[in-house]
Structure formats: C-alpha cells, structure tokens
Structure 1
Amino acid sequence: MAQLVSSWSNGVQSVPKDYVMPPERRPGDFIAVCKEIPVINLQNDRSEVVQQILKACQEFGLFQVINHGVSEKMMADMRVLYDEFFNMPIEDKLGLYAKTYGKGCTLHTSGINYGKEEVHFWKDTLKHDCHPLEEHSPSWPDKPARYREEVGKYAIEVRKTGFKILNLIGEGLGLTEGYFDRVSQEQYMAVHLYPQCPDPSLAMGIDGHADPNIITFLQQDQYGLQIQKDGKWMGVDPIPNAFVVNLGYTLEIISNGRLKSVEHRVVTNSTASRTSIVTFFAPSPTLPVSNELPVIIEPAKELVTTCNPPKFKSFQYKDFVADYLAFMRKPRPRDGTPLDPYRF
C-alpha cells in the first residue's frame, strides 16, 4: 500500500527518480487549451445533434456533452465521495490493493503492471465492473458507507447517457437501429487520482494512448487531459457538469475507419490534485443470447460495399484486448498501434 502515490506524495519537494520520465516521454513545452473541441448540447434538435457528434468523431475523436441527463447534484456527490475514498486511512483500503491491473474491484498505482515498469505514472486508480449491477456491486468498496448506493445510481444514469450517444452515432453512420444494443456492452469504471506533483515537467499522469473499448465517458474536475491532433498535443478544458466523450479503437473498427479513436494523455499539476471518474463501454465476451458464442468485432456490414471494402479483419474482442495489453506493456517509445495487426 505504501506504493500508492497518494500515501506518500503529500508535501514531497521533488519527484522520486522512479517517477522521473525519460526526456522523450515528458510533457514537453506548454500546451495550449484547444477552444475548438465541440461542446454538444444533447437537448438541441436531434438531427442537429447527430451531425454535430458525427463531425466531432471524424475531426477530433472526442467531444464534450452538456444537458446529458445526469444531474449536477449526482456529479457533485460523486466528486465528494471519491475525495472521501482516496483520503481514507490506508487500513480501510488494504483489502482492495493489487500490484497489477486485474479483474474485479482493485486499487492499484501507476500503470498495468507496477513491478515491471521502467518508470511509474503519478496516479492511483480504483477500478471495478458496473454491469450487471447486482452481479458486481457486492465486490465494491464498503467504505464510505454510501459508496455502493451512490455509485450504483450513477452507473445506471451514465449507462442511459452512454447508449443515448451510441444510438446517435449509429444513426449518423446509418447503422441498423439497435446495433450497439445487440453487441451488449460491458460497463466498468476507473477512478484516477493524480495527486499534486512537485515538478510536472518531469512526471506524467499517463502516457499517450487510445482506449481499446467502444466509447469512454470522463467526468473531470481539473485540467490535465490532453489529446493529439495533427501530430500536436492540445489541452481539453474542463467544463463544469459536462462529460468528455472519446472514441476507442473498437468504434473506429466498427465504423470501418470513418470515425477515429483519439490518442490522449494526462499531465500532472503542481498546485492541485485531479480526480477523473471514467466510465468505459465495451463489447461483452459473448453474445447476450448465448454464453458460448463469442462477440465478433468487425466493420459494420452496413458500411462495407464494393467501393468501400473492409479496412479491418474480424476478430474476437477478448483477443484484441490481450494484444492491446501486451502492446501497452512494451517499453516506450512504440511504433504503430495495437490496430496494426488487424488492418488489411
């Protein structure tokens, strides 16, 4: 537990050497906040919203949504709850601690495998599955006492918003109605704490990467998120009570390359800690009508024609995730992406 950054970083005057990134992996020069990232009001005219989302997915692979249906009070309550969780005594979190990223409900530090990292990231993460709620919530933290009740309600509301946006994306692409319902997404959360850092020029919250899943929803309270566009990093401005929505590799494949997953990273802050509450939607390992038939990921048939042949091979999602995790464990810098073996 002493490895948790939050357990020892308060008041430190310098970055420990095993958290100092090599020069090529440091944040670099000052990155300006991008004012062009779309902010989409989900209460506007549906056809207008569909076109706005589709354009944002093509140009940025990311957008922010407001008036999305999750109440301001619920989002504020979540911020308070996770502040309480990460500030609890170590002994109250001991049962959740794991040295590696794994299944179930775990609390870990840095990246996927702390023990094998050349250098560590300046973050702690609580991760757990969310759907079906009754199956997973018993393994969630029992402290703070209201954790399971409040996070359960939040997970339900974010799920509604998630499918609302996926259906709007499907409509914009011209997919059959209910396409994403049939894939039956898994839903899980990762709550990251990036403590105050004495020298943000040396440390990183997380390296540049794109998510393997379908779509990701981020609730953030401080600046720190950056995305790469046209070979340059740009900052994402936190908007109160908005969700940042970014596309994963799986949605890029389903769209046959029409939409783009976005590479993103997190920088640290010398004046404030940052908590991000992240919800992921991903394919289930098996079809909802069968616990044996695997879910096959491939370009949607509606988008494949003689003039627009498939750009990606068909594959089982579990195989892709295994390749993604292996890729992420490789020492930096890396060439290519986890998508490369799956392209035609």
Structure 2
Amino acid sequence: MASTLEEELGSVEFVQVESVQALASNFGASSTNEVPDRYIRSEVEADMVVEKGSFELQVIDLAKLRDPQFSQTEIAKLGCACGEWGFFQLINHGVDKEVLERVKADITAFFNLPVEQKEAVAIANKGVDGFGHHFIVSNEQKLDWADMLYLTTRPVNERNLRFWPTNPPTFRDTFNKYSLELNKVAGELLEAMSKDLEIESDVLFNLFKGQPQSMRMNYYPPCPQPEKVLGLSAHTDGSGITLLLHVNDVQGLQIRKDKMWFSVETLPGALVVNIGDVLEIASNGRYRSIEHRAVVNTTKERISIANFQSPCHLANMGPLPEVVKGGKENYKSLPYIEYFKGYFSDKLEGRNYMESLKIN
C-alpha cells in the first residue's frame, strides 16, 4: 500500500540520473580521474570553513532528561542548544546496541550490492520512496556526490514495501526495530522540548500525532576531487526533528552559522539531532532550523542515516498559539502537505524555502 504522503505527492516528479557510486567506481580505470562538470560546485572552494576542533556542539544526555535530579538543568541546556545552534549530540539515548550494529551492517550491505540490484527498489516516476536521488528537477542543475535510499517507516500501515529491500534478508526486520527505537527517543525529546517551551506536552504531540517518520540513508563515495563537490547541498530539513546516525567513522557533516561553515566531529555512539523547519515555525523562531550540508572524502566512503520525525500530514503548520501567547506571529500558517509539496518540488537551496515562509 502506498503511503498517504506519496499519494498526496503524486505531482512531484524527479529527473533520474546515474548512480554516483557506479560513476565513482570507474575512476580507477580512468586515465583522467576528472569529476564531470555537472558535479563541480564553485561555492565549495569559496566558502569559509572553520577548522575542525575549533568548536563543540552542545551534548545532551537523555538519561539526565529522564532523571528528576538532573532534568531541569538538562532541559535548559536542550533549549539553549535548540535556540543557538539548532543542533546537538545526544548521548545515553538508550537505542539497543545490537539493533544499531545490525542497522550499520545491513545498510552497508545494501549499498555494496551491484547497482542493478539496488535499482530493483528505484524511486518511481512520481514519488519519494526508493533508491536514487531527490530534488533533481532539471537536466541542467548541479548534482550531489551521493546516492540514497529513502523510506517511509512509520506509521507501519503507510509503508510502501515495494521499496523496502529484501537483500540483505534481515533488512526489513532490522529497520522496523530501529524505527521503533527512534520513535521512543523522539517522543522523549518532544516531552523535554515542551517543558522548555513552557507548553503542555500534548500540544506538540498533537502536531506530531502518530509520530510519522521517514529515513534517508546516504552513501557518499570517495571522490578524487573532494574539494570541488558536495555530498549533499546546503539545506534545512523539512521535518520537525532529525536524528542522524553515522554508520562508519568518516566525518562530513557541516553546519552554517554566522556565514561560516563548521565541521562537526561526532562523538562515538552519539546521535546528532537537529531542529527542522516544522519546529522553527511551531516555536515561532525560538528554535532554529540550521542550514547544513555534507562534504566527501578522497579515499573513504561515508554512510549515514537521517531519521526524520514529521508532523501528521493532515496537520496545519504554523506558530503555536501557546508559544506566541498573543504576540506577533513570525511565520505563515499553511497545511503541512502544502509545505511538503513545496519543499520536495524545488531543488535544495539553503534556507530559501524557509525564508519564504517568514512574515516580514
């Protein structure tokens, strides 16, 4: 059964392009090792990037958020992280370690399959689930140095199993368990954010009713000219909360603040969490959906899994009255499905789409 969102997004059609992993695998046999012009991004060399180790993301301890003795202090840290950077690292998140190891093994095995086997779950002409690429809307635009597998994971009855790999054989069971684990984590974060925003928790839980969830699994092949390409274009997330898992030890996440790019060094075992557009709007700008991107490595592949926690597709998206409290609303209100269609119908261009939703 197709997901409700995919049915609603029937008008979204992406231009399909060659697998980047397949393209990259040919470089060893090539005499030039020149990256095709369509992947060359002039802005990468021009952007100012702050050296690694010059800053540290706030670290939030989920065990302390649960503990009455420490929760008040930890909630204050959480609110600061969401408001200042829009990103934090989450430790002691409680996700089963065996599930994490299986997730890493299964997605690595999937991306190591021959391209024709991965294309058995390729994105359909119109839709978002499957293997391939999003946000390619013309044959002229610049391309990212990455392949991806995108799946609607929850609610369970909205999964489109046509796009869920059966190789490796454990994939479906593994990602079913992982999706459930992350919904529990997201639920606890929403509870803590409600306390920080000084609103009743059911206000946020009503917005995220049923806790709809999807995952984008990213494969960034090695690139002989990494300084000239982007693994993932600068963007904000069209979700409420994103929980990012680094599958291997290759770093590549960069976030933008004060017109500079900062490289994130992930703590072992941590999830990197960021605020999406939905929560920036719902909090009336108190929380920030920060522009971020991915860069690639010369010799090593990078694999990551972004888990998106989104509002109910029938929800109306706008500043929450309980947060605004009679003050000025800083963002437009619109049905979430209308927002989502706009987000997916355009190429990724930093914060442009978010800025269009602000009330001047």
Q: Normalising by structure 1, report the TM-score.
A: 0.89
Report SS of the residue matched to 2:233: strand
Aligned residues: 329
2:135 is the counterpart of 1:116? no
**Which residue matches 1:343?**
359
**Which residue matches 2:121?**
96
The C-alpha deviation readout for 1:225-277, integer Å capped at 9, x for no partner, is 00011111101112221110001111011101111111101111102110011
The one-letter code of the counterpart of 1:232 is: M
Which deviates more from structure 2 when the two are superposed, residues 113-122 or residues 137-146?
Answer: 113-122
Identity %: 29
1-side partners of 2:17 and 2:235: how far apart? 27
Q: Is the 8 A contact 1:26 1:203 kept in 2?
A: no
For residue 99 of structure 1, report the CA deviation from its aligned partner. 7.3
For residue 50 of structure 1, report the CA deviation from its aligned partner. 0.9
**Which residue matches 1:53?**
78
The C-alpha deviation readout for 1:77-113, integer Å capped at 9, x for no partner, is 211111100111223222212377823x31004x412
2:322 is the counterpart of 1:299? no
- Where do residues 58-137 of structure 1 align in structure 2 (5 Å cutoff)? 58-98=83-123, 102-103=127-128, 105-109=129-133, 111-113=134-136, 115-136=138-159
Q: Is the 8 A contact 2:49 2:261 kept in 1?
A: no
2:331 is the counterpart of 1:312? yes
- Where do residues 245-256 of structure 1 align in structure 2 (5 Å cutoff)? 245-256=273-284
Q: Normalising by structure 2, report the TM-score.
A: 0.85
**Which residue matches 1:291?**
none
Report SS of the residue matched to 1:204: coil
Q: Is the 8 A contact 1:114 1:120 kept in 2?
A: no
2:256 is the counterpart of 1:225? no
Which deviates more from structure 2 when the two are superposed, residues 172-181 or residues 131-140?
Answer: 131-140
1:182 pairs, out of 206, 224, 230, with: 206
- Where do residues 197-216 of structure 1 align in structure 2 (5 Å cutoff)? 197-216=223-242
Q: Is the 8 A contact 2:135 2:345 kept in 1?
A: no
**Which residue matches 2:295?**
267
1-side partners of 2:171 and 2:265: how far apart? 28
1-side partners of 2:299 and 2:232: how far apart? 18
For residue 179 of structure 1, report the CA deviation from its aligned partner. 2.1
- Where do residues 165-176 of structure 1 align in structure 2 (5 Å cutoff)? 165-176=189-200
For residue 311 of structure 1, report the CA deviation from its aligned partner. 1.4
The C-alpha deviation readout for 1:300-339, integer Å capped at 9, x for no partner, is 1111234x3211222111111222234436xx6x784433
Q: Is the 8 A contact 1:251 1:259 kept in 2?
A: yes
For residue 176 of structure 1, report the CA deviation from its aligned partner. 1.2
1:194 pairs, out of 213, 220, 230, with: 220
1-side partners of 2:302 and 2:140: how far apart? 23
2:56 is the counterpart of 1:10? no
**Which residue matches 2:9?**
none
The C-alpha deviation readout for 1:98-144, integer Å capped at 9, x for no partner, is 377823x31004x4126534221100000010112254163311111
Cα RMSD for the two superposed structures = 2.2
2-side partners of 1:217 and 1:27: how far apart? 29
1-side partners of 2:140 and 2:294: how far apart? 18
Report SS of the residue matched to 2:347: helix
Q: Is the 8 A contact 1:2 1:8 kept in 2?
A: no
Report SS of the residue matched to 1:193: strand
For residue 180 of structure 1, report the CA deviation from its aligned partner. 2.4
Q: Is the 8 A contact 2:311 2:336 kept in 1?
A: yes
Structure 2 residue runs without a partner (length 5+): 1-15, 28-32, 65-69
**Which residue matches 1:41?**
61
Structure 1 residue runs without a partner (length 5+): 287-294
Report SS of the residue matched to 1:178: helix
1 or 2 for the larger relative contact order (CA 8 Å, sep ≥6)?
2
2-side partners of 1:107 and 1:130: how far apart? 14
